[in-house]
Amino acid sequence: MVLSQSRVAGAGLWVLLLAAGQAAGQHLEPRAYANTPVGMNFLIAGYTYSSGGLATDPALPLKNAHLDVHTPILAYARAFDAWGKSAKLDTVFGGGCLEGTAELNGAPMRREICGPLDPTFRVSMNLYGAPALALQDFAAYRQDVIVGASLQVQAPLGQYDRNRLVNLGSNRWALRPEIGVSKALGALTAEAIFSAAFYTANDDFYGGQTREQDPVLAAQLHLIYQFSGGTWLALDANYYTGGRTTLDGVQQNDELGNSRLGLTLALPWDRRNSVKLYASEGVSVRTGSDFSVFGLAWQHRWGGGL
């Protein structure tokens, strides 16, 4: 059976793209556990613009933040067979330029900086409902329920200045285990994703202080409608909480409890290429800063018999 262009487009993978991507709870990533033909590779180039509050770390003690963050990214992913289950490996590298103003303890601050972001590396595996399939077998596959899990590592390799409060990198490792469940209901798919982000201590925070942060717990919900021809539209929402910090052993009153809403639109170009547009906005902010995100990405697929 020949795999149609719409089925190939629907088999795509989109690596997360959200602002500078430093705070794990902010992720909005529809179709993270969609089945993908084994051996297929993905190259993703994207650009994200964030405006308003602080997207890199909403727990920082800043007030009245008005920041603009421009973030180009490059990502690679590959689908593979893991004991008969579909699995993926992805890595994301990015740079960014941040500029704007904020207040720290009532004093105005201004920051302008460009540099690399902390890269991320992730392995994911569908535990149920998404068997590893070659491209020629994928045409007969129809999703029902998929249960998947992943583990992402964020490395402290981005721009960081110990004498400045706002940076593009975090100077700490982050580990984010995640589990996701999706259910197909005809052309509509409902997804729920739950994660927890754990952080090592930053021993060189803002003048040499030691900053520790509690885990950030997050939940994502997505409603995805599949149109003919491979186009799909998703309504995205999340909520993240926790993340209280400690400075030199003194606990801060900065526990997060924030939520966002977003839209994602994926448009196939041909069998190998597609474009994604996405936007999100904060709807509830208990601690930290609110911000808006707009972005676009181009994805190129190859391999696996395509």
The model's pLDDT over 147-185, given as tens digits with 9 standing for 90+, comes to 999 999 999 999 999 998 888 999 999 999 999 999 999
Contact assessment for residue 50 and residue 19, using Cβ atoms and an 8 Å cutoff: yes
- State residue 5's pLDDT score: 53
- State residue 58's pLDDT score: 62
Domain harbouring 292, CATH code = 2.40.128.130
What is the pTM assigned to this prediction?
0.89
Structural domain boundaries enclosing 219? 5-303
Integer Cα distance of 180 and 178 in angstroms: 7
The answer to whether residue 103 scores a pLDDT higher than 80 is no
Integer Cα distance of 283 and 52 in angstroms: 13
Q: Which two tokens stand for residue 147?
A: 């249960």
pLDDT tens digit sequence for 19-48: 444 455 567 889 999 999 999 999 999 999
The answer to whether residue 72 scores a pLDDT higher than 90 is yes
- State residue 286's pLDDT score: 55
pLDDT average, residue stretch 52-58: 63
- State residue 2's pLDDT score: 42
Identity at 109, one-letter amino acid code: M
- State residue 20's pLDDT score: 42
pLDDT average, residue stretch 274-287: 80
- State residue 65's pLDDT score: 76
- State residue 74's pLDDT score: 94
Report DSSP letters for 145-196, one per residue. EEEEEEEEEE-S-S---TT-S--SS-SS-EEEEEEEEEEEETTEEEEEEEEE
Task: Give how many domains the chain has, as a whole number.
Answer: 1
Q: Which two tokens stand for residue 71?
A: 């973030």
- State residue 21's pLDDT score: 44
- State residue 148's pLDDT score: 97
**Sequence-ordered alpha helix ranges (H) in the chain:** 5-10, 135-138
Confidence of residue 100 (pLDDT cuts 50, 70, 90): confident
The answer to whether residue 290 scores a pLDDT higher than 90 is no
Integer Cα distance of 236 and 171 in angstroms: 30
Integer Cα distance of 128 and 247 in angstroms: 42
- State residue 56's pLDDT score: 56
Q: Which two tokens stand for residue 88?
A: 């993926």
What's the mean per-residue pLDDT of the chain? Answer: 87
- State residue 54's pLDDT score: 61
- State residue 195's pLDDT score: 96
Give the distance between the most distant pair of CA atoms in the chain.
Answer: 67
- Most confident range, picked from 165-169, 188-192, 206-210: 188-192
